[in-house]
Structure 1
Amino acid sequence: MSGSRPWPAPLRLYGWAANLLQGQAFRRVSERLGSQGVEPVRQRERLGHPTLVRPPGRLVWFHAASVGESLSILPLVRLLAPRVQVLVTTVTASSAGIMARRLPAGVLHQFAPIDSGPAVRRFLDHWQPDLAVVVESEIWPQMLRMSAHRGVPLVLMNARFSPRSLRNWARAPRSARAVLGLFARIVTQTEGMREALVSLGADPTRTVVGGNMKASAPPPPDNPEERARIAGLLQDAPVWAAVSTHPGEEEAVLAAHLHLRERLPGTRLILVPRHPERAAEIGALIDRTGLAWTRRSAGESPATAVHLADTLGETGLWFRLAPLVFLGGSFVPVGGHNPWEAAQCGAALLIGPLRDTVAGDVAALEAVGAAMTVQRPEDLGPVAMDLLGRADRLDAMRAAGLGLASAQIGRTEAIARDLLGMLADA
Structure 2
Amino acid sequence: MPDFSLTLLRHRLSARTQSRRPSMARRARPEGRLMWLHLGENFDPTGVCIAVERLRERHRDLRVLITGDQADGGLIDAPPSDTVPSVRAFLDHWRPDIALFAGNDVFPMLWSEALARGIPLIAVEVDTTRHAAAMIRQMRGFDAILALEPDLRLDPVIEVTGPLSTTPLLPHADRAEIERMHEAFGNRPVWLALGAMADETEAILQAHALASRMTHRLLLVLDVDDATATSRLRDGGWRWVDRDADGVPIDAQVLLTEFGTEDGLWLRLAPVTFMGGTLSGDGPSLDPLAMASLGTALLAGPQGADVASMSRLTAVGAVRSIQDSATLGTGVESLLNPEEAAAMAHRGWSVTSEGAEATAQLVDLLDDTLAGIPV
Task: Name the TM tier (shorter chain).
Answer: 0.5 to 0.7
Residue 338 of structure 2 is aligned to residue 391 of structure 1: yes
**Distance in 2 between the 1:72 and 1:282 partners?**
40
Q: Secondary structure of 2:211's match?
A: helix
1:380-413 CA deviation, whole Å, 9 max, x = no partner?
111211222x322112112222343223312435
1:353 to 302, 307, 327: 302
CA, structure 1 residues 249+213, in 2 after alignment: closer, same or farther (shift >3 Å)?
farther
Partner residue in 2 for 1:343: 292
Contact 2:48 2:102 in 1 (8 A): no
Matches within 5 A, 1:137-176: 147-148=77-78
2:206 to 222, 235, 255: 255
Partner residue in 2 for 1:302: 248
CA deviation after TM superposition for structure 1 residue 324, in Å: 0.4
Contact 1:242 1:325 in 2 (8 A): yes
Q: Secondary structure of 1:249's match?
A: helix
Partner residue in 1 for 2:67: 131
The RMSD of aligned alpha carbons is 4.4
Q: Percent identity?
A: 25
CA, structure 1 residues 290+417, in 2 after alignment: closer, same or farther (shift >3 Å)?
same
Where do 5+ consecutive residues of structure 1 fail to align?
Answer: 7-49, 64-68, 82-101, 109-126, 158-184, 188-207, 421-426
Where do 5+ consecutive residues of structure 2 fail to align?
Answer: 1-14, 22-26, 40-44, 82-89, 91-98, 104-122, 126-147, 150-161, 368-375
Q: Secondary structure of 2:232's match?
A: helix
Contact 2:182 2:269 in 1 (8 A): yes
Contact 1:134 1:156 in 2 (8 A): no
CA deviation after TM superposition for structure 1 residue 212, in Å: 7.6
**Distance in 2 between the 1:322 and 1:309 partners?**
14
Contact 1:334 1:354 in 2 (8 A): yes
1:343 partner amino acid:
A
Contact 1:133 1:156 in 2 (8 A): no
Q: Secondary structure of 1:286's match?
A: helix
Residue 232 of structure 2 is aligned to residue 285 of structure 1: yes
Contact 1:133 1:155 in 2 (8 A): no
Partner residue in 2 for 1:268: 219
Q: Secondary structure of 1:363's match?
A: helix
Contact 2:313 2:351 in 1 (8 A): yes
Contact 1:327 1:351 in 2 (8 A): yes
**Distance in 1 between the 2:318 and 2:346 partners?**
8
1:105 partner amino acid:
R
Residue 277 of structure 2 is aligned to residue 329 of structure 1: yes
CA deviation after TM superposition for structure 1 residue 248, in Å: 1.0
Contact 1:59 1:131 in 2 (8 A): no
CA deviation after TM superposition for structure 1 residue 264, in Å: 2.2
CA deviation after TM superposition for structure 1 residue 322, in Å: 0.6
Partner residue in 2 for 1:233: 184
Matches within 5 A, 1:61-72: none
1:348-398 CA deviation, whole Å, 9 max, x = no partner?
11111111452x32232233332211133431111211222x322112112
| TM-score when normalising by structure 2 | 0.58
Contact 1:62 1:132 in 2 (8 A): yes
Matches within 5 A, 1:364-375: 364-375=312-323
**Distance in 2 between the 1:413 and 1:375 partners?**
38
**Distance in 2 between the 1:291 and 1:70 partners?**
43
Number of positions where the alignment pairs a residue of Structure 1 with one of Structure 2: 271
Q: Secondary structure of 1:266's match?
A: coil
Contact 1:369 1:397 in 2 (8 A): yes
1:290-321 CA deviation, whole Å, 9 max, x = no partner?
1122222x344333211112155522211111
CA, structure 1 residues 154+251, in 2 after alignment: closer, same or farther (shift >3 Å)?
farther
Q: Secondary structure of 1:105's match?
A: coil
| TM-score when normalising by structure 1 | 0.52
CA, structure 1 residues 406+268, in 2 after alignment: closer, same or farther (shift >3 Å)?
same
CA deviation after TM superposition for structure 1 residue 75, in Å: 2.9
Q: Which has the larger radius of gyration?
A: 2
**Distance in 2 between the 1:306 and 1:262 partners?**
15
CA, structure 1 residues 61+72, in 2 after alignment: closer, same or farther (shift >3 Å)?
closer
CA, structure 1 residues 282+73, in 2 after alignment: closer, same or farther (shift >3 Å)?
farther
Residue 36 of structure 2 is aligned to residue 106 of structure 1: no
Q: Secondary structure of 2:78's match?
A: helix
1:264-309 CA deviation, whole Å, 9 max, x = no partner?
2410001123x5xx4x43222222321122222x344333211112
